[in-house]
Amino acid sequence: MTPAGAGGGDRGPTLAVVGATGAVGTVLLSILSERKDIWGEIRLIASPRSAGRKLTVRGEEVEVVALGEAAFDGVDVALFDVPDEVSAQWAPVAAARGAVVVDNSGAFRMDPDVPLVVPEVNPHAVRNRPRSIIANPNCTTLSMIVAMGALHAEFGLGELIVSSYQAVSGSGKEGVDTLREQLGKLAGTELGTQPGDIRRAVGDLGPYPAPIALNVVPFAGSLKEDGWTSEELKVRDESRKILGLPELRVTATCVRVPVVTTHSLTVHARFENEVTVAQAHEILRAAPGVVLCDDPAAGDFPTPADVVGTDPTWVGRVRRSMDDPCALELFVCGDNLRKGAALNTAQIAELVAAESAA
Amino acid sequence: MTPAGAGGGDRGPTLAVVGATGAVGTVLLSILSERKDIWGEIRLIASPRSAGRKLTVRGEEVEVVALGEAAFDGVDVALFDVPDEVSAQWAPVAAARGAVVVDNSGAFRMDPDVPLVVPEVNPHAVRNRPRSIIANPNCTTLSMIVAMGALHAEFGLGELIVSSYQAVSGSGKEGVDTLREQLGKLAGTELGTQPGDIRRAVGDLGPYPAPIALNVVPFAGSLKEDGWTSEELKVRDESRKILGLPELRVTATCVRVPVVTTHSLTVHARFENEVTVAQAHEILRAAPGVVLCDDPAAGDFPTPADVVGTDPTWVGRVRRSMDDPCALELFVCGDNLRKGAALNTAQIAELVAAESAA
Ligand SMILES: NC(=O)c1ccc[n+]([C@@H]2O[C@H](COP(=O)([O-])OP(=O)(O)OC[C@H]3O[C@@H](n4cnc5c(N)ncnc54)[C@H](OP(=O)(O)O)[C@@H]3O)[C@@H](O)[C@H]2O)c1
Ligand SMILES: NC(=O)c1ccc[n+]([C@@H]2O[C@H](COP(=O)([O-])OP(=O)(O)OC[C@H]3O[C@@H](n4cnc5c(N)ncnc54)[C@H](OP(=O)(O)O)[C@@H]3O)[C@@H](O)[C@H]2O)c1
Residues 6+ apart with CB under 8 A from B70: none
Q: Is the pLDDT of residue B294 over 80?
A: yes
Report the alpha-carbon distance of residue B65 to residue B88 in Å, rounded: 19
A268 contacts B306? CB cut-off 8 A: no
> Per this entry, what is the length of chain A?
358
**Which element (helix H / strand E) includes B249?**
strand B249-253
A304 contacts B215? CB cut-off 8 A: yes
B340 contacts B143 by C-beta, under 8 angstroms = yes
Three-state SS letters, A274-294? CCCHHHHHHHHHHCCCEEECC
- Secondary structure class of B148 (helix, strand, coil): helix
Q: b/e for B56-67, b at 16 or more Cβ within 10 A?
A: ebeeeebebbeb
- B31-42 pLDDT, tens digit per residue, is 999 999 999 999
Strands (E), chain A: 15-18, 42-46, 54-57, 60-63, 65-66, 77-80, 100-103, 133-135, 157-165, 249-253, 263-271, 290-292, 313-320, 327-334
Number of Cβ atoms within 10 Å of the Cβ of A111: 14
Please give the pLDDT value at position A10. Answer: 63
**∠ CA B275-B276-B278, rounded to 5°:** 135
Helix axes B23-34, B343-357, angle to 10 degrees: 50
Q: Is the pLDDT of residue B357 over 80?
A: no
Count helices and strands (H / E) in chain B.
9, 14
Q: b/e for B110-127, b at 16 or more Cβ within 10 A?
A: eeeebbbbbbbbbeebbe
Confirm or reject: Cβ of A58 under 6 Å from ligand 1. Answer: no
Q: Which of B192, B309, B317 sits opposite A218 (nearest CB)?
A: B317
- Ligand 1 centroid–CA B194 distance in Å is 21
B155 vs A357, more confident: B155
Please give the pLDDT value at position A7. Answer: 43
Ligand minimally distant from the alpha carbon of residue A140:
1
Residues making up the annotated binding site of A are 21-24, 49-50, 109, 166, 169-170, 256, 336
Q: Is the pLDDT of residue B91 over 50?
A: yes
Please give the pLDDT value at position A189. Answer: 84
Please give the pLDDT value at position A25. Answer: 95
Ligand minimally distant from the alpha carbon of residue A18:
1
- B108-152 pLDDT, tens digit per residue, is 999 999 999 999 999 999 999 999 999 999 999 999 999 999 999
A181 contacts A201 by C-beta, under 8 angstroms = no
- Cα–Cα distance list, A29 to A44, A99, A266, A283 (Å): 9, 19, 30, 32
State the pTM of this model: 0.94
Report the alpha-carbon distance of residue A264 to residue B321 in Å, rounded: 22
Ordered per-residue pLDDT tens for chain A, 358 residues: 544 444 444 679 999 999 999 989 999 999 999 999 999 999 999 999 999 999 999 999 999 999 999 999 999 999 999 999 999 999 999 999 999 999 999 999 999 999 999 999 999 999 999 999 999 999 999 999 999 999 999 999 999 999 999 999 999 889 999 999 999 999 888 888 888 899 999 999 999 999 999 999 999 999 999 999 999 999 999 999 999 999 999 999 999 999 999 999 999 999 999 999 999 999 999 999 999 999 999 999 999 999 999 999 999 999 999 999 999 999 999 999 999 989 999 999 999 999 877 6
Q: How many alpha carbons lie under 13 Å from residue A185 in its C-beta half-sphere?
A: 19
B180 contacts A286 by C-beta, under 8 angstroms = no
Across-strand partners of A56?
A61
- Ligand 2 centroid–CA B22 distance in Å is 5
pLDDT-derived band at B8, boundaries 50, 70, 90: very low
Contacts of B299 in chain A (CB under 8 A): 209-210
Please give the pLDDT value at position B1. Answer: 52
- B223-241 pLDDT, tens digit per residue, is 999 999 999 999 999 999 9
Confirm or reject: Cβ of A53 under 6 Å from ligand 1. Answer: no
What DSSP designation does A123 have? Answer: G
- B306-330 pLDDT, tens digit per residue, is 999 999 999 999 999 999 999 999 9
Report the alpha-carbon distance of residue A279 to residue A323 in Å, rounded: 18
- Longest CA–CA separation in chain B, Å: 65
